[in-house]
Amino acid sequence: MNASAAIPVPVRLAQLHRHAPGTVAGVDWDQLAEPEARRLRELGLDEGVEVELLHRSGLFGGPLACRIGRMTVALRRHVAAAIHVTPLARQA
Amino acid sequence: MNTTPLVALVGNPNAGKSALFNALTGARQKVGNYPGVTVERHSGRMALPDGRPVELIDLPGAYSLDPGSPDEQVTRDVLLGRQQGERLPDAILTVVDASNLDNHLRFTLQLIALGLPIVVALNMVDLAERDGLKLDPEALERELGVPVVSTVAVRRRGLDALKERMAEMVKGVTKIRPSPGVQHDIVLLQRRARQIATAVTVSETAARRWTHRLDALFLHPVAGPLILLGTMFLMFQAVFAWSQVPIGWIEDGMKWLGTEVGTALPDGVFRSLIVDGVIAGVGAVIVFLPQILILFAFILVLEATGYMVRAAFLMDRVMASVGLSGRAFIPLLSSFACAVPGIMATRTISDEKDRLTTILIAPLMTCSARLPVYTIIIGALIPDRAVLPGIGLQGLVLFALYLLGILGAFVVALVLRRTVTKGATSGFMMEMPKYQWPSARDVLLGLWQRALIFLKRAGTIILYTTVILWALLSFPKPPEGSTVSKVDYSIAGRIGSGLEKIVAPIGFNRDMALAVIPAMAAREVAVAAIGTVYAVDNPDDAAGEESIREQLQKHWSLPSALAFLMWFVFAPQCISTIAVTRRETNGWKWPAFMVGYLFALAYVAAGITYWSAIGLGL
């Protein structure tokens, strides 16, 4: 795929740069356990919602703190890896 | 029939529901249980502006009416009138976090669809403004079609207006309502909630949020864990250092009471019962009230500020390595105060296996009831000298006992998750609330409730067991001129001698065996029991801590004392914990398993300690 600067390509939330917000492009719901998927929906995760990676904990693959809408949520990495995000265009 | 209108307080976790409940009901609260389930029922009375009373029930926080945990199930069942032992509420008071409308309104929409009269408290408007979010409550009222009141529950703002709207709500309450429909489509509700949130937002400036700034520090990969460690250290340090003065007051008070009562009463059985049994026994336990309150104060403040969830976040990786999640950290930390609230706090863990494992290891956290046992034995038998400048041997031993409990818990969790509670690794997904300055009132109210529970325990279970023990120790009396000591001749002495055969291989003497039995009621009774044993043997001596210390030095060897300490690290010496485990796991299977494995561990660990100490020539 040819990623031009104008059309951002979705990346996984887990791989997002910190403090570089994006909108949810899609979620691999089938990669998540049913209770996980439901709780994630209850925390407001949905296509089009603005998300941002805030903090990674520790060195050994600990959880991530992410912003979903106006809420901060702790997620494990495999969950964040199932969320595809379209980065927002950088403001000058 | 109870005709007081019943209003259910409902809301998302972290919406400030409990603060609102405290602000509305003050100290007029009752904590009970729903029959058949383990969820605590918090209810309280409040008066409306026109003087009418209302009963308010604080339902567990939930994200929706589709329950994901036992807590959320109660919330749904009460609202649908299906909860056994609870009448259908007449109305709903729902709380939403003003800065989290797009999420919290989803649940509100689901609640409105139930058809009960409802008022919405738009809470924490101050924090929303701090974050640069300006809302229009009237627009929200129009969009939702139900009354909306802005509040700041922790600062007691907006309460009068809220009470006015509640009075209107319960004015013409009739119990007939359209058949309640639960709207289950989360995604649909969510989209509607977001529309409304956008419609009522007047302005939103990108103010740098306080919470993000603090998180940059508290969740920092290096600084975060160090701060957590420092906080834990400060907490345990405070439990010991800050409690010394109030403990002194209580001790002096008890000594004074013992002497006064001792001189006022005629010599005889009754005086012995009151002075040796009641005052010595209960007094030995009440001195630990300051330590317990300090520990609870820390836990309440950590929870109210929002730091506790950050601690769970930082601990998730470590907990995951033994098959648990960061969520288990909160109940386990509470278990340092007492395993009973700790085990009850596991209800927020949705995964059944995860929750069960946490319950089974919670008793290994060194609860405050072990402190009296540890401090008195360490004080008596471990030499008070410095190992390194500023680090005393006594403190080090105490620290080692705490650490041993934690290590034991980790090893046990690891084994359990691979055997009896085997299952897929559970997830960790938690909302991280905004930081908030805790209200002193809420913390004091929480402490007051804990103090009452502890004193009630001291006044009942501990009082009964010490009196029974005193009776068993005092009768039958040896004949005049007998050389056998009073304790040896008594019923308890004979029971103790019998038990001694079982515990002799792990280095316990008769007095230890005697102390272990009543300690089943509550661990701290062991101290009271030791106090009573020696008080009965030496009636002339005021049964203060000093005398117990001297008696311990006379009768206990160091290896035996170490074995006794080790026993208390593991032994499930607490009926309340066993009872709460039965309630939480709905049967006797798991409490039986817990008691079995813990006693086995205690016996083996005490034995190893005893024989190693002997081998080392201690």
Tokens of B329: 């950290």
Does residue B604 surpass a pLDDT of 90? yes
Tracing tokens 């908030």 back to the chain, one arrives at B436
Q: Would the CB atoms of A57 and B429 count as touching at under 8 Å?
A: no
Nearest alpha-carbon partner for B152 in B247, B35, B31, B16: B16
Nearest alpha-carbon partner for B175 in B322, B6, B367: B6
Angstrom distance (rounded) from CA B510 to CA B92 = 60
| B32 domain-assigned | yes
Confidence of residue B404 (pLDDT cuts 50, 70, 90): very high
Nearest alpha-carbon partner for B344 in B590, B115, B548, B70: B70
Single-letter residue type at B428:
F
Structure confidence at residue B562 (pLDDT): 93
Domain ranges of chain A: 11-87
| B94 domain-assigned | yes
Structure confidence at residue B348 (pLDDT): 73
Contacts of A38 in chain B (CB under 8 A): 66, 68, 186
Nearest alpha-carbon partner for B352 in B83, B594, B70: B70
Does residue A3 surpass a pLDDT of 50? no
> How high is the ipTM of this complex?
0.88
| Residues found in chain B | 618
Helices (H), B538-585: 545-555, 558-570, 575-585
Which residues are registered as beta bridge partners of B392?
B386
Range from A13-17, B27-31, B120-124, B346-350 carrying the lowest mean pLDDT: B27-31
Q: How many helices (H) and strands (E) does chain A have?
A: 2, 6
Angstrom distance (rounded) from CA B64 to CA B86 = 20
What share of residues in chain B are helix, strand, coil (percent, to 5)?
60, 10, 30
Tracing tokens 């006693």 back to the chain, one arrives at B599
Closest CB from B99, B101, B432 relative to A73: B432
Contacts of A54 in chain B (CB under 8 A): 212, 215, 219
pLDDT tens-digit series, residues B111-159: 998 888 999 999 988 888 887 888 899 999 999 999 999 999 888 889 9
Does residue B6 surpass a pLDDT of 80? yes
Angstrom distance (rounded) from CA B270 to CA B254 = 18
| Residues found in chain A | 92
Structure confidence at residue B266 (pLDDT): 82
Nearest alpha-carbon partner for B429 in A36, A58, A60: A36
Confidence of residue B176 (pLDDT cuts 50, 70, 90): low
How many Cβ pairs closer than 8 A exist between chain A and B? 113
> Is the entire prediction scored with pTM above 0.80?
no
pLDDT tens-digit series, residues B538-574: 655 544 555 677 888 888 899 999 999 999 999 987 7
| B293 domain-assigned | no
Q: Would the CB atoms of A35 and B351 count as touching at under 8 Å?
A: yes
Averaged pLDDT of chain A? 82
Provide CB contacts within 8 A for B526, sequence distance 6+.
B372, B373, B515, B516, B518, B519, B568, B573
Q: Would the CB atoms of A56 and B64 count as touching at under 8 Å?
A: no
Angstrom distance (rounded) from CA B393 to CA B384 = 6
| B51 domain-assigned | yes
Provide CB contacts within 8 A for B399, sequence distance 6+.
none
What SS3 state is found at A59?
A: coil
Structure confidence at residue A48 (pLDDT): 85
Closest CB from A46, A54, A70 relative to B100: A70
Contact A9, A90 (CB under 8 A): no
| B617 domain-assigned | no
Angstrom distance (rounded) from CA B339 to CA B364 = 9
Confidence of residue B175 (pLDDT cuts 50, 70, 90): low
Q: What is the CATH number of the domain that holds B140?
A: 3.40.50.300
Q: What is the mean pLDDT of residues B343-364?
A: 86
Question: For residue B181, how many other CB atoms are within 10 A of its CB?
Answer: 10
Does residue A51 surpass a pLDDT of 50? yes
Does residue B528 surpass a pLDDT of 50? yes
Q: Would the CB atoms of A62 and B316 count as touching at under 8 Å?
A: yes
Contacts of B184 in chain A (CB under 8 A): none
Does residue A11 surpass a pLDDT of 50? yes
Closest CB from B100, B225, B429 relative to A39: B429
Question: Vertex B86, ends B83 and B88: CA angle to 5°?
Answer: 85
DSSP string, B8-60: EEEE-TTSSHHHHHHHHHTT-EEEEE-TTS--EEEEEEEE-TTS-EEEEEEPP
| B369 domain-assigned | no
The number of distinct structural domains making up chain B is 1
- Share above pLDDT 70 across residues of chain B, in percent, rounded to a whole number: 91
Gap from B122 CA to chain A (nearest CA, Å): 16
| Homologous superfamily of A11-87 | Ferrous iron transport protein A (FeoA) (2.30.30.90)
Single-letter residue type at A48:
G
Contact B52, B169 (CB under 8 A): no
Does residue B42 surpass a pLDDT of 90? no
Structure confidence at residue B581 (pLDDT): 86
Contact B525, B285 (CB under 8 A): yes
Q: What is the mean pLDDT of residues B88-97?
A: 92
Evaluated on CA atoms B10, B16, B21, B27, the torsion sign reads positive
* Structural domain span for residue B162: 6-207
| B443 domain-assigned | no
| B120 domain-assigned | yes
Range from B173-177, B197-201, B361-365 carrying the lowest mean pLDDT: B173-177
Gap from B330 CA to chain A (nearest CA, Å): 15
Tell me which residues of chain A have a C-beta less than 8 Å from any C-beta of chain B. 33, 35-36, 38-44, 46, 49, 54-63, 65, 69-76, 79
- Strand-strand pairing, A22-27 and A83-87: antiparallel
Q: What is the mean pLDDT of residues B483-512?
A: 81
Confidence of residue B521 (pLDDT cuts 50, 70, 90): low
Gap from B112 CA to chain A (nearest CA, Å): 17
Distance of CA B512 to the CA centre of its chain: 28
